[in-house]
A and B are shown apart, each in its own frame.
Chain A
């Protein structure tokens, strides 16, 4: 593997292109079939982390007979280590709204909503101003589509799509049972496309440059480029748009401080990759997937502290609705503390690993199901640090 190859930096998301009315008009004049086919051909998968094929999501929603449909933009970016959506909204918010308009035209929706996390409330005046211009353009183009913004109030779990709908409807942000999926039963129980902020921008870009051009970037399983939020022990923290398909080794060569011992890919809900696996781990859906969160740790860091911090996060953010997650997060947190203090033998870690596996199978939503990702990958790779 050519690990010393420098990373390919891309400038699609933040470029100033695709912002004016004429371009919007051209994109919106495509037929729904054309847009969906282009998205399917491009291989675009959701940029929030879960990676569902965007074209399919739009197609399933379009196929629903119900005349009342919604487009929802998930701007509840809360995964530790992720901050790219804030930057997109701050710098090219208009592209997000344009992407939502493209989706609305494709699936047949007249109303769209953006669910913005409460922590980003300071962006509201700017976004409302952009929305005013957007609505003027919609009117000028004779398109009946309106977007409103709903504000979150500090709950990580609301980034889970069905919890987000519950919150938009005025309830506790507790995830629903799935199926039915949002394409069938979403906001107000109606067929809904819900995509991450970046996904709407990528869909717009694909419509503009074409699937063939977009496909030139990335790998078979992970097409295109995406934004990475880089933080932790790095001399150059920030947001970078990179071609998908790099190894962790390539990433560390670019962003590490020369002493990187582990990289957490995908945030607290993601996977920890230790140094010995940098070389053969691909960042993408064929390896370790990520919504963009990349946290680097050098050898001065205790991985026990890292895991402790993640579990503290999860036990606070668990909605408490299902037992595996509510009790599981608590017990994992208390369990590693007990092992560290010597109150439990090292073998207790194996009991905890089993618990995290049970949570993966039995928790109701993605939050509880993914706690085991970081738990497994940190405990298995840094077991001594958990004990001594």
Chain B
């Protein structure tokens, strides 16, 4: 097995996540699909790190995880705030900045 297979798998998972972002309308699931895309990129980073014998890929993947955690915290807080004012978690309903 060639290590490029990991990159192919990362591409497939990334595409699935992108399809989810485009298709689903529940804001929480859209967020999960964004996480899926970030994780696919992390897999590619880690696989490249091993292929080239450098640790930089793992360091970048670590930073991606930190940023993703911060993004999830703020994003979910925004979703909860939208749900409080509009009683809906659908991204089609959030068409105003202020209720």
Q: Do A and B come from one complex?
A: no
B residues sitting closer than 8 Å to A (CB atoms) are none
A residues sitting closer than 8 Å to B (CB atoms) are none
